[in-house]
């Protein structure tokens, strides 16, 4: 008596709905990530430099709040690198890991 092994049919009607639902969720995730990257618009921040560490710049705004900005190889300097006490204008965007990534630094005046 030969043994007959039945194959599971993965594309039956019940499994087809499950596959369609998973495909829809994957496509929805991809579209959400795509629009999240495209929607990045630069913002401006004015303040005084209070901390420097190679890739990180700490700037205090007029209201006393200190914000951290990440400086990279794509950062454009208008005049010179900022030092402690310099008043700066920073243009930045949120990068893929939600950091404040600097696109342009302008030194306004030294206090």
- pLDDT given at position 1: 57
Assess whether 55 and 100 both reside in one domain. Answer: yes
Assess whether 33 and 82 both reside in one domain. Answer: no
pTM: 0.62
Assess whether 57 and 101 both reside in one domain. Answer: yes
Calculate the alpha carbon distances from 80 to 7, 49, 54, 104, 105 in Å: 70, 14, 15, 11, 9
Alpha-carbon span 61 to 12, nearest angstrom: 62
Please check the confidence at residue 37 and state whether its pLDDT lies above 80.
no
Structural domain of 19: 10-39
What total of structural domains would you count in the chain?
A: 2
Assess whether 60 and 88 both reside in one domain. Answer: yes
Please check the confidence at residue 80 and state whether its pLDDT lies above 70.
yes
CA dihedral 4, 5, 11, 12 (to 10 degrees): 70
């Amino acid at each position: 008596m030969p043994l007959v092994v039945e194959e599971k049919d993965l594309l039956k009607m019940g499994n087809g709905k499950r596959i369609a639902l998973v495909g829809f969720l994957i496509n929805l995730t991809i579209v959400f990530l795509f629009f999240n990257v495209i929607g990045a618009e630069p913002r401006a921040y004015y303040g005084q430099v209070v901390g420097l560490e190679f890739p990180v710049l700490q700037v205090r705004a007029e209201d006393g709040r200190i914000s951290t900005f990440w400086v990279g190889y794509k950062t454009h300097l208008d005049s010179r690198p900022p030092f402690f006490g310099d008043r700066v204008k920073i243009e930045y965007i949120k990068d893929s890991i939600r950091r404040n990534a600097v696109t342009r630094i302008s030194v306004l005046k030294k206090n």
